[in-house]
Chain A
Amino acid sequence: MKLTQKKCMLITVFAGSLLGSSCTAVKEYQKNRLNDGEMTLSARKVQKTEMSFQTYREGASGANGGKTGGGCGCN
């Protein structure tokens, strides 16, 4: 588990440095591309059932905005 913590720390620091650096202040009127429906920072709604079957058929889950528990997926 120590290795995990170290890896998580490294990834978090890397991600944090990406988020915190090289940012340009973007005004509301400059966000026409960012506000495009395809630019949403989440899975598409049409992917809802895809994400469900992946959660059932694979051991890993989470960190994608989907459900983190509940429901069986027993089959």
Chain B
Amino acid sequence: MRKTCLVVVGIFLHFFSGFAQSSTDSGYESRKLKLEEVNLVSSYYHQEGNNSAVTGGIGTEKLTDFANVIDVKLSKYDRKYRKHTFTLEAGVDAYSSASSDMVDLKANSSASSSDIRFYPSVNWTVENENKGTTVGFNASSSFEFDYTSFGIGASFGKKSKDNNRELNLKAQAFFDQVSLVTPTELRPGGGARRDEDDYASSARNSYSGSVSVSQIINKRLQLMVIMDLIKQQGLLSLPFHRVYFNNNSMLAEKLPSSRLKIPLGFRANYFLGDHIILRAFYRYYQDDWGLKAHTIDMETALKINPFISVTPFYRYYDQTAVDYFAPYKTHAVTAAFFTSNYDLSKFNSSFFGTGVRLTPPNGVFGSSHFNMLELRYGHYSRTNGLNSNIISLHLKFK
């Protein structure tokens, strides 16, 4: 898979190098389409846990996911000297999930045990450097066996005259369809294996607005505040999540058809001395399902020299449970809404690890187009027993 992706990167570079033009000293900006950069992010993720929502809050959550995302950024100037940037992105996740395999309790390896997710997207921004404004539009999609999603969005950015402050506004809408894949016991006639087209589907729509303001405080410190408002409507539960009640009966998870989320984030980056950069992030989150959460993320970038950085990090997360959560066989049959999904239970988690970033002046491994390599490992641990590891690689070509 990785070999295939590298070949794809090579083809992209070769193809788009035909558009490239070297810049001149006269300040003239090319009106032809120019390849800015190509990014490839690959990651391997593995998790273990024993609170699967598919089996009602008990049972294995073992899961592996191999993800590859490639993006190609192109730019050109128009007659009014506005910069147009086009970003084409495509991602593929190949995952296997032991819990999804239990949609059919009798199967050793059912159709749900593994899947591929494909998610292409495009983004177009127009930057007017004289006015300090940027207008953007994007479209995205995601396809997997039981879920499809289409999204559109628009954004507007405005810089202050001295370029020390920037305001960004963003609006997005996602129109999703969830296939109604229920546990086999709840299907009429016991539920033999069926094709994707056999299932009915239900809509899940998300609408979000985002405002962010960034500010340079001095030569070493800059801050950003981000506020999102997210409204979701439609089928927000998953039909193959089982819930076992205190009278031993079982039904598919049921959650309200509307959810309002309010996250508020704060970022601060500080350049300490000549070799250390401190990166901090805090987020407060609250929604109308009763979930409140705090996230604190701290990272230090230690510059060994101008071209090599080591980036240890630690992230702490704490959340309360949603009002509708209860563990295996503790829900009352009279409940209007119910879930045993431990992702919505009360817990806190720690995520820590380190990364290495290489940006040699002559290119990585001496290749002038191979601009940057970043490798990062993280271990995630939740107080309710879920543990996972992730290793990610980012390659940038220019």
Contacts and interface: CB of A to CB of B under 8 A. Distances in A.
A49 to B, nearest CB: 4
Interface stretch (B8-16, B94-102, B128-136, B183-191): B94-102
B263 A30 contact: no
B142 interface: yes
B78 interface: no
Given A39-B277, A53-B45, A74 B146 contact: yes
Contacts of A45: 39, 41, 374, 394, 396
A33 B219 contact: yes
B286 A70 contact: no
A24 B162 CA distance: 11
A62 B109 CA distance: 35
Most A Cβ at <10 Å: residue of B147, B217, B224, B238: B217
A46 B393 contact: yes
A3 B100 CA distance: 39
A22 to B, nearest CB: 6
Contacts, number: 233
Specify the main secondary structure of chain B where it touches its partner.
strand
Contact of B172 (A1, A22, A68): A68
Interface of A: 1, 4, 7-8, 11-12, 15-16, 18-20, 22-28, 30-31, 33-34, 36-42, 44-50, 52-54, 56-65, 67-72, 74-75
A63 B288 CA distance: 17
Given A8-B264, A28-B163, A60-B293, A39 B222 contact: yes
